[in-house]
Chains A and B, each alone.
Chain A
Amino acid sequence: MLGTVEFPDIEPPRFVTIVDDDPEDREDLMDQLRDHNIEPRAVDGRYGSDIDRLIADVRATGSPFVICDHRLQIKNLASFNGSSVIKALGLSKHPAMLLTMYQSTNRLELREARADVPVVVSRHDFDVSQLGTYAEICRREFANDPVDARRAHRTLIGIKGINRTYNHTELYVTIPNWRPDDAIILPVACIASDLVPQLEVGDYLLGDVNVGAKEEDDLFFKNVNEIMKANEVTGS
Chain B
Amino acid sequence: MTDHLKFSPDILRRLGEELVPDIDQGIVELVKNGYDADATTCKITLADPMSGNGSIAIIDDGIGMTGNQIRKGWLVIGRSDKAKGALTSKFKRVPVGDKGLGRLAALRLGNRVILTTRPASEPGKQYSTSLDWLEYEKADVVEDVALAIAETETDLPHGTEIRIEGIEARITRTTVNKLARSLLLLSDPFARFDDQLSNGRLKSTKRSRIIDPGFSANLLTMEFKDLQAKVGKSYFSDAEYRIQAELHANGNATFRIMDWKGEIVHEAMAGDTFHAPPFTFDLWVFVLSKDSFSTRSSTLSEVRDWLAELGGVHVYEDGIRVPPYGGEENDFLGLNLRRVRSPEVRPSTNTSVGRIKINNTDGSLIQKTDRIGYVENYAFGELKRACGEALDWAARILLKERERKREADKQSKKEKAAKATSDLERVLSKNFKPTERKKVDKAIQSYVKATEKEADSLREDLELYRSLATAGMISAVFAHEIGKPLGLIDNAIKGLIRLVPDEDQRKANARVGRIQTSRTRLSSFVSIPLRLLSKHKRRTGRIDVNRCIGSMVEMLEPISANYDTLITFKPSETGLFVNGTEALLDGIIINLILNSFNAFLRDNFEQDKRRIKIETWSDTTNILIRIEDNAGGIDGVSVEDIWLPGVTTVADGTGFGLTIVRDSIKDLNGTIRVDPITDFGGARFTISLRPMRELFGR
Interface residues in chain A, defined as those with a beta carbon under 8 Å from any beta carbon in chain B:
24, 27-28, 31, 46, 48-49, 71, 73-76, 79-81, 104-109, 165-168
Is B603 located at the chain interface by the 8 A CB criterion?
yes
If the complex has contacts A49-B604, A166-B644, A167-B636, are A76 and B655 also in contact, measured as CB distance less than 8 A?
Answer: no
A-B contact pairs, 21 of them (CB 8 A): A31-B510, A31-B511, A48-B608, A73-B600, A75-B562, A76-B607, A76-B608, A79-B602, A79-B604, A79-B605, A79-B606, A81-B603, A107-B652, A165-B646, A165-B648, A166-B637, A166-B641, A166-B644, A166-B647, A167-B637, A168-B648
Q: Are A24 and B517 in contact (CB under 8 A)?
A: yes
What residues of A have a CB within 8 angstroms of the CB of B646 in the complex? 165-166
Knowing A24-B514, A28-B514, A105-B652 touch, does A75 contact B564 (C-beta < 8 A)? yes
* Least CB distance, B593 to chain A, in whole angstroms: 15
B149 within 8 A of A: no
- Are A24's CB and B518's CB within 8 A? yes
Contact A49 B606 (CB under 8 A): yes
Contact partner of B514 (CB less than 8 A), chosen from A27, A75, A108, A168, is A27
Q: Chain A: which residue is nearest B563 at the CB level?
A: A74
Q: Is the CB of B648 within 8 A of A166?
A: yes
| Cβ–Cβ < 8 Å partners of A76 in chain B | 564, 600, 607-608, 610
Pick the contact of A46: B511, B608, B648, B651 (CB < 8 A). B608
B601:A165 contact, CB within 8 angstroms: no
CB within 8 Å: A-B pair count:
65
Q: What would 13 more interface pairs be, CB under 8 Å, given A49-B606, A107-B652, A167-B636?
A: A24-B517, A24-B518, A73-B600, A73-B602, A74-B562, A75-B563, A76-B610, A79-B604, A106-B651, A166-B637, A166-B646, A166-B647, A167-B647
A24 vs B513: C-alpha distance when bound (angstroms): 10
Q: Digitize B346-390: 1 where CB-to-A-CB distance is under 8 Å, 0 elsewhere.
A: 000000000000000000000000000000000000000000000
**Nearest-CB residue, chain B, relative to A78:** B606
Q: What is the minimal beta-carbon distance from A188 to any residue of chain B, in angstroms?
A: 12
Q: Tell me which residues across on chain B come within 8 A of A105, comparing CB atoms.
A: 650-653
Chain B residues whose C-beta falls within 8 Å of the C-beta of A49 in the assembled complex: 604, 606
Residue of B nearest to A165 (CB): B646
Partner of A80, one of B511, B604, B610, B641: B604
Give the distance in Å from the alpha carbon of A76 to the alpha carbon of B644 in the complex. Answer: 30
Given A28-B514, A108-B651, A166-B655, does the pair A79, B603 have CB atoms closer than 8 Å?
yes
- Report the count of interface residues on B (CB-CB < 8 A): 31
Contact across chains for A73 and B601 when beta carbons are under 8 A apart:
yes
Q: How many angstroms between the C-alpha atoms of A106 and B650 in the bound complex?
A: 10
Please give, as numbers and ranges, the residues of chain A lying within 8 Å of B636 by CB-CB distance.
Answer: 167
> Which of B637, B650, B652 has its CB near the most chain A CB atoms (within 10 A)?
B652
Q: How far is the CA of A166 from the CA of B645 in the complex (A)?
A: 9
Please name all residues of chain A whose beta carbon is closer than 8 Å to the beta carbon of B655 when the two chains form the complex. 165-166
Residue among B606, B607, B644 with the highest chain A CB neighbour number at 10 A: B606
Return the chain A residue nearest B521 by Cβ.
Answer: A24
Closest to A27 in B: B514
A163, chain B: closest CB distance, angstroms: 10
Give the complex CA separation of A24 and B521 in angstroms.
11
- In angstroms, how far is the closest chain A Cβ from the Cβ of B20? 65
Closest Cβ–Cβ distance, residue A162 to chain B (whole Å): 14
A48 proximity list for chain B (CB < 8 A): 606, 608
Residue from the set A24, A27, A71, A76 with the largest chain B CB neighbour count within 10 Å? A76
Write the nearest CB–CB distance from B561 to chain A, whole angstroms. 9
- On chain B, the residues within 8 Å of A106 by CB distance are 651
Is there an interface contact between B649 and A167, defined as CB atoms closer than 8 Å? yes
Instruction: Report the Cα distance A107→B602, complex, angstroms.
Output: 16
- Determine the chain A residues whose CB is within 8 A of the CB of B603 once the complex forms: 73, 79-81
Please, which residue of chain A has its CB at the minimum distance from the CB of B601?
Answer: A73
Contact with A along B279-299 (1 / 0, CB 8 A): 000000000000000000000
Q: Is the CB of B651 within 8 A of A109?
A: yes
CA–CA, A167 and B651, complex, Å:
11
B 605-620 contacts with A by CB, 8 A: 605-608, 610
Contacts of B517 in A (CB 8 A): 24
Chain B residues 575 to 626 lying within 8 A of chain A, measured CB to CB, are 600-608, 610
Residues of the B chain whose Cβ atoms lie less than 8 Å from the Cβ of A79 = 602-606
A122 to chain B, nearest CB (A): 17
Query: A45 CA to B57 CA in the complex, in Å?
Result: 87
Q: Using Cβ atoms and an 8 Å threshold, which residues of chain B touch A80? A: 603-604
A184 to chain B: closest CB distance in Å?
A: 14
Closest to B561 in A: A75
Q: Chain B nearest CB: distance from A44 CB in Å?
A: 13
- Which partner residue on chain A sits nearest B518 by CB separation? A24
Chain A residue contacts of B652, Cβ below 8 A: 104-105, 107-108
Q: Which of A71, A75, A79, A80 has the most CB of B within 10 A?
A: A79
Chain B residues closer than 8 Å to A74, beta-carbon distance: 562-564, 601
Please, how many angstroms separate the alpha-carbon atoms of A24 and B522 in the complex? Answer: 13
**From residue B653, how far is it (CB to closest CB) to chain A in Å?**
8
Return chain A residues, CB-CB under 8 Å to B644: 166
Could you tell me the distance between the alpha carbons of A46 and B601 in the complex, rounded to whole angstroms? Answer: 14
Point out the residues of chain B lying under 8 angstroms from A27, CB to CB. 510, 514
Complexed CA–CA distance, A24 and B641 (Å): 39
Contacting A at CB under 8 A, from B94-127, are none
**B480-529: which residues lie under 8 A (CB-CB) from chain A?**
510-511, 514, 517-518
Which residues on the A side are within 8 Å of B563 (C-beta)?
74-75
Residues of A within 8 A of B514 (CB): 24, 27-28
In angstroms, how far is the closest chain B Cβ from the Cβ of A18? 15
**Which residues on the A side are within 8 Å of B651 (C-beta)?**
105-106, 108-109
With both beta carbons as reference points, the residue of chain B lying nearest to A75 in the complex is identified as B564
- Chain B residue, CB-CB nearest to A21: B564
Tell me how far the C-beta of B363 lies from the nearest C-beta in chain A, rounded to whole angstroms. Answer: 67
Interface residues of B in 430-475 (CB under 8 A from A): none
Query: Which residue of A is nearest B565, CB measured?
Result: A76
Query: In the assembled complex, which residues on chain A have CB atoms less than 8 Å from the CB atom of B641?
Result: 166
How far in angstroms is the closest Cβ of chain A from B368? 60
B606: A residues at CB distance < 8 A: 48-49, 79
Residue-wise interface mask of B (634-675) relative to A, using a CB-CB cutoff of 8 A (1 in contact, 0 not): 001100010010111111110100000000000000000000
Ranked nearest first, the 4 interchain pairs of A and B with the lowest CB-CB distance are A48-B606, A166-B647, A76-B564, A73-B601
Interface hub of A27, A71, A74 (most chain B Cβ within 10 A) = A74
Which residues of A lie under 8 Å from residue B518 when comparing CB positions?
24
Tell me the smallest distance from the CB of A82 to a CB of chain B, in Å.
12
Determine the distance from Cα of A46 to Cα of B510 in the docked complex, in whole angstroms.
25
Rounded to whole angstroms, the CA-CA distance of A74 and B600 in the bound complex is 8
Nearest residue (CB) in B for A24 is B514
Residues of A within 8 A of B511 (CB): 28, 31
